[in-house]
A = this chain, B = another copy of it.
Amino acid sequence: MTQSAVSPAAEPRVWCRDHRGRTYAFEDFLKLTESFHGYPAPGVVIGAKMVHLAMRQMPAGALFDAVSETAKCLPDAVQMLTPCTIGNGWLRIVPLDRYAVTLFDKVHLSGIRISVDPERLDAYPETRHWFFGVKPKRKDRTRELLGEIEGAGENLFAVQSVRVRPEHAAKRPSGPRAVCPDCGEAYPSGHGPSCLSCQGQSRYYERG
């Protein structure tokens, strides 16, 4: 039995690695995406490489939070590969609609921002077509698109060192809750004498 050392040459076969150190080959990550996200969305697959790249540049052992600059696809890559979820508050979405993710140290607020660099897309025509939302969509060319993304690897991205502004990093503590006199449900008493819904905000439903 020969022992094979884990060499850096093996790395290109790894598409991404999660925060527990589990690695995924490209095809395996497509399956994981299908399971969590519902379908093997190119945005999640690219996002995974972005998250992977950002995590690799964070100091070992750093406790980090994540910011996604879009609600589309990218947050799921964060949730699949890091401890940060939308429900635990370690992932936040800043609605800028740029395809970029930042991981930052919870204590020092220093971090790494990874974005898709439009200039680098010229060599990847299917990716460019999809990313810029050119119509008509090429739904029949998804295989070619995913193949391009796999081949491009880390070549699509710009990497920046950033510092997150303290007011954007601070957790808002949960204050006490009161019962709304109008709907009878609990709400943060800091919102006023009744809950935001009974104040007229975001009334997304009516009685069925």
Contacts and interface: CB of A to CB of B under 8 A. Distances in A.
Interface of A: 36-39, 41, 43-44, 67, 69, 71-77, 79, 83, 85-90, 93-100, 102, 104, 110-111, 113, 115-119, 131-135, 160-165, 168, 174-177, 179, 183-188, 191, 195-197, 201-208
A195 B98 CA distance: 8
A73 B90 CA distance: 11
B71 A133 contact: no
Contact of A177 (B89, B132, B202, B205): B132
A152 to B, nearest CB: 16
Contacts of A188: 97, 133
A93 to B, nearest CB: 7
A88 to B, nearest CB: 5
Contacts of A99: 185-186
Contacts of A98: 183, 185-187, 195, 197
Contacts of A162: 205-208
6 contacts: A38-B85, A71-B86, A96-B197, A98-B183, A133-B177, A162-B205
**A-B residue pairs, 9 tightest by C-beta:** A76-B87, A161-B208, A168-B204, A162-B205, A75-B87, A163-B208, A162-B208, A133-B176, A94-B202
A163 B201 contact: no
A45 B69 CA distance: 29
A39 B116 CA distance: 33
A204 B69 CA distance: 10
Contacts of A202: 94-96
